[in-house]
Every structure is written in structure tokens, then in C-alpha cells.
Structure 1
């Protein structure tokens, strides 16, 4: 009897705590209070001559805009998975070398990059990734997997990638591709350069 009463009291306390949290979160939303924005990640400066570099595989749009094409590019060597991921993404976001076409909207910047102990990477991009996106399901697929494949092709300890927009989870970038969960590599969108 005492155990049931203790269990009922504990359940009530948990329920009240959840209710208080929900009310507080709802009031903040109604009042228009936004959580503090994460500071923007600085664009890495061009390394001076003599700085060690690696060759990374990045992904850009094919000339016809129908597929991703792997392109080997020089990237500054960084110490550790997270700093190296930032370097790789900074080059990926710079734009496409000729004759390839960009699949990431211009002005998109990397706000943050981190990797969990389970090997899930989170790529936090600025709002331009969505606001400046031209739309269309195939273009959106290429945008998402240019980022996902660039991380996974170059950082072997990373298993999956989730894209965030302005520090928040998003359903999609432009209405078509579900990015609510971490994604695995998809090489079906990739074709070699002619």
C-alpha cells in the first residue's frame, strides 16, 4: 500500500514537472522569446603557403544539373575530426569549380559543426541554405547529399549527418527532402565526370 502511494506521488511530481516545462516553453513562444543564437562559425582564412593540406572529395552539380560529381580539392589539414570537418565544409560551401554547377545556394555559411560520440555529425548552416534555395525535389536532393556525402566521404569516423538550419532542426530545406534525422551516404546521386 505504501509502495503504491509512493509511486503515485512520484508519478504526480514527474507529471507536474513536465506540465511546468510545457507551460514555460509555450509562454516563451507566445511572448516571442527566441533562444540565444549560436555564434556563427568563422570562415577559415586561406592558409599561408607551406600549411599542410589534404585532398578531399567534395560534391558539386554536374553540368546538366542532374547529378552530383565528385571533385578532388585541396583542403587545409586540421587536427581532429571536428576542425577537419569545418575545413572540408568551408571549401564545399565556397562554390563549384568550372564546369560544375553549385548546388548549395550562394551566401550559405557554416555556423557550427560537431560530432557526437555515436558518430553522428551535425552541420549547422545559415538560413540562406533554405531562403535562397531554388526549390525542386531533385535540386534539393543534390543540395542535401552534397553536404552529407562530403562529410561522410572524408571523415571515416562519422556514420551519419544531420543538417540544421540556424541552429534548429528543420523538416526540409525547400519542401521535399526530409532532414529531421541524421542521413547516411547516398552515392546513387553521384556520377563520375565524363
Structure 2
């Protein structure tokens, strides 16, 4: 016979697991709904106009290098909007332009692969000086199809995006990836898109 307290403990653990699963599913649905609302309320031509009229700023792109699996800091100057969500999207667009350029160190043919980037506040950690944010990066299917398959090239693509966001918007400490507004298992068959990535995941790849 199983002792009563063990049955009670098992039931409590099972209930906690179910509740956590429901909460995580609901959080994902809310993130998706808010992301789609942001996309609908801010057309592409408005974003382009806002970016073109914004002051030029120096930004740092963490560009992937397939030769040694590293991320190389590259400084560029571009007009940058003030809105953090729009800034994050411009950062992703400029990074992907680097990959579509001739003689790229990490070639990907499709340079227009980010539909939207939406920032969500995270619970403030005890002792933290500021509240962190999660970036939800919505990739389009055409970019995913253009991504070279393989664990290393796929991982470098994701890490370069995460590192670029964090380098220019330090409040971004976590990143999730969607494809056409939906969760996808992998980027191109290998790199996991179901998990939350941390900005700290990129530290070992960044070249000093």
C-alpha cells in the first residue's frame, strides 16, 4: 500500500504541473495576441517613415561568423526610432541585411525575415536595478525557408539576434521566437524555437 501522505504529495505535484502548463499556454496565447495587435496597428509604411525621419545613431550588430562559430561586434550608423519596439525591429532588419549582403560571413538569402518584434515586461528580480523585458521576435516563413539547415548555422542566427537586441537594448534579457505568429518546433530542423533564450546564452560566442 502507498502511504496516504505520498498519495497526497503525488496529487499535489500533478495538480501543480497541470496549473503550470495552463498558465504557460495562456501566457503564450496572450503574447501572440498582443504581438498580432501591434502588427495590425502599425503598418509597414508607417514604420519605414518613422525610421527614415529619426536621428542617426551608432548601433552595434553582433554578426555571426561561420568560419569559427563566433559573433563579431560590428558598428553601423542608422536612423533609429525612439519607440523600443520599433528600435528592436530595425536592429533585426539591419542584422539580416548583413547576412544577405555579398561575401557575408553568415549568408542567408532573405533579408526581410522579421515581421515584428514585441517587448514584454518581466517580473522584476530581487536586487535588480531595472525591470527586464522579453523580446518576442516574429520571423516570417520565407526567412525560415532561406535559413541554411544545421545546428551550428541555425544556432548562430538565433544567438546573433539575441546578442544584437541585448547589446543595444540592455533591458532585453529573454527572447522568444515565433514564425508567422505561431510557435514552431525548430528554425530549420535543428535549433529549438520552443524555449526561452537568455541574453547570457550569447556570452561565450561573442568575440572580444
Give the structure-1-normalised TM-score: 0.68
Q: Which runs of 5+ in 2 are unaligned?
A: 1-38, 123-132
Between the aligned partners of 1:112 and 1:77, the Cα distance in structure 2 is 15
Contact 1:41 1:110 in 2 (8 A): no
Q: Does 1:116 align with 2:130?
A: no
Report deviation, 1:116. 0.9
Larger Rg belongs to: 1
Contact 1:88 1:151 in 2 (8 A): yes
- Cα 1:137–1:149 change in 2 (3 A) is same
Give the structure-2-normalised TM-score: 0.64
Query: Which one of 126, 146, 155 corresponds to residue 140 of structure 2?
Result: 126
Q: Which runs of 5+ in 1 are unaligned?
A: 1-37
Q: Does 1:47 align with 2:63?
A: no
Greater helix share, structure number: 2
Deviations 1:128-168 (A, max 9, x none): 23211211111111111111111111112212111111111
Deviations 1:1-59 (A, max 9, x none): xxxxxxxxxxxxxxxxxxxxxxxxxxxxxxxxxxxxx66962736736xx412211112
- Cα 1:99–1:71 change in 2 (3 A) is farther
1:184 corresponds to: 198
Query: Which one of 39, 59, 69 corresponds to residue 72 of structure 2?
Result: 69
Query: Which one of 160, 169, 173 corresponds to residue 187 of structure 2?
Result: 173
Aligned residues: 155
Between the aligned partners of 2:165 and 2:149, the Cα distance in structure 1 is 23
Deviations 1:156-188 (A, max 9, x none): 221211111111111110222212122112121
